[in-house]
Every structure is written in C-alpha cells, then in structure tokens.
Amino acid sequence: MAQSLLILVTKAPYGFEEAFAGLRAGLGMLASGQVPVSNALLVGEGTLNAVAAQKPEAVRMPSNAEAINDLLEFEAKVYVVKEDLLHLVGDVPLLEGVELIDWERARQVIDEHDMVTTF
C-alpha cells in the first residue's frame, strides 16, 4: 500500500497538457486524504514550470504557476533539478517555495517515495 507518490514532471508548461495534469494529480492525492504524501519533481523541460515570469494569460491557458502554488499550500514539496534548468534558461527567478536540487539529491527524492508517476 503506497503512502507517498512522486509526480515526475518532464514536460514543459503550456505546449502540452501533461505538466498541468500532473501537478493537479498531485494535488488530488492530497485533497482526497487517501495519499498522505504527494510531492513533485520537475526535471528536463519540466523545470520550466517553476519559472516565476511565466504568463499563462498570454496563451489563455490554466496557470501552471498556480498549480504549483496550490501544491505548496498543501505542504507538498516541489523540487526543481538545477542542472536541467540552468541548461535550458540559465539562472532565472523561480516561484517562491520551490526547492532547487541537484541530480544526486533528485535520485534520493525518487527513492524516498513509494510510487513515482511521470507527466
């Protein structure tokens, strides 16, 4: 029986449905009360979901920033792999509350959860 789920977000925001869906899935776990721990790990292009300057209103899409903030409000952890972010966009401001980690720590995070699913 799984007590914890890690949402591994690999897709960039807005070009795909997956990142928003994954973040909402993570929130759904916590809102249901059935899964005590539900965290998110943003890797590869998924790290772009944590960029503070995103403007979803420009494409009239639901806000991935809001989805991350909702998770944080439920005391979920949202991890961002630093190497992947730096490679894509450099050192840019991120949403408040997300945690920058390296790949070594990311592997530990994956290992700490009972289940991992990818979006």
Partner 1 sequence: MKTMVIQIRSGTMMNMDTNIAVKLAKAALDKGYNVRMFGYGESVTIIKNGQDPKRFPNVGKETKELLGKGLEVVVCETCCKARGILRGEEIEGTKIGSLTNDLSRFVAEGDRMVTIAR
Residues that bind partner 1 (CB under 8 A): 1-2, 5, 17-18, 21, 24-25, 28-29, 31-32, 34-35, 115-119
CB of 17 to partner 1, least distance (A): 6
Nearer to partner 1 among residue 23 and residue 101 (C-beta): 23
Nearer to partner 1 among residue 34 and residue 52 (C-beta): 34
CB of 119 to partner 1, least distance (A): 8
Nearer to partner 1 among residue 5 and residue 12 (C-beta): 5
Q: What span, in angstroms and rounded, lies between the C-alpha atoms of 17 and 12?
A: 9
CB of 93 to partner 1, least distance (A): 30
Q: Contact at 8 Å (CB) between 112 and 91?
A: no
Q: What span, in angstroms and rounded, lies between the C-alpha atoms of 67 and 72?
A: 9
Nearer to partner 1 among residue 31 and residue 92 (C-beta): 31
CB of 57 to partner 1, least distance (A): 20
